[in-house]
Amino acid sequence: MHTHHDGSAAGAATDTTAEPSVRDWWEARYAERDGIWSGRVNAVLASVTWGLPVGRALDLGCGEGGDVVWLAEQGWDATGIDLSVTALQRGSRAAVAAGVEDRTAFVAADLARWDTAARYDLVTASFLQSWPVEIPRADILRRAAGFVAAGGHLLVTAHAAPPHDDLPPELREYRFPAPADDLAVLQLDDRWDVLVAEVRPRTAMTPEGDPHEVLDSVVLARLTRG
């Protein structure tokens, strides 16, 4: 298992114990075209981390690495974890293109099982929602809190409403989390200060390039002591 930042973006460590159906579904999704995300940092992460002292960051479910690369550009040592090797290869290439490969690492692993002895100044999970294949999101988020160093921050950002109007059938029954839902899942004890727990509106673009309003659930907490 990957237990520390090794400064290498080129070789992704691999844990192949993930449920094949989940891993295969996401591999197929990423293989559909050259890039399924914008490559830009997500707005919540950019606004929340502004002004935080840089250190070591961990991005859970990092996809194609847009947030990892952005964090590295801000001076963080950033590690991204994802099931999809295809997505991580794109993240590695983006890090090289941005000249931040020395401050990034990408690890292919199942977040339900991945563990590390390292502790991070920022642990972020952005839109860690999977459909139609499910992941044990609540368990993953609870484990994420354990990766935060004393004085560090945990940021959980989620779709609080459908991300677009053209919903596939499997999404119509999906219950999008509110901040209170994610706080309940995290089960944070009195060592934590909850700094943000709110829904934030955001204007996003459809694949066709049309603007539309979306809602993000944002939970930011600081671990006051280890």
Beta strands 211-223; 148-159: pairing state: antiparallel
Average pLDDT over residues 168-196: 89
- Report DSSP state, residue 131: -
Q: What is the pLDDT of residues 152-163, one digit of tens each?
A: 999 999 999 887
- Length in residues, the chain: 226
Q: What is the pLDDT of residues 188-204, one digit of tens each?
A: 999 999 999 999 998 87
Position 55 scores a pLDDT of 98
Helix segments in the chain, DSSP class H: 20-31, 43-49, 66-73, 85-98, 137-145, 179-186
Share of the chain above pLDDT 70, in %: 81
Position 97 scores a pLDDT of 96
Res. 71: pLDDT tops 50: yes
Res. 165: pLDDT tops 80: no
Position 12 scores a pLDDT of 40
- Position 216: which residue type? D
SS3 state of residue 102: helix
Res. 3: pLDDT tops 70: no
Binning pLDDT at 50, 70 and 90, where does residue 171 land? low
Binning pLDDT at 50, 70 and 90, where does residue 135 land? confident
Position 13 scores a pLDDT of 43
Position 183 scores a pLDDT of 97
| Helix H or strand E encompassing 153 | strand 148-159
SS3 state of residue 72: helix
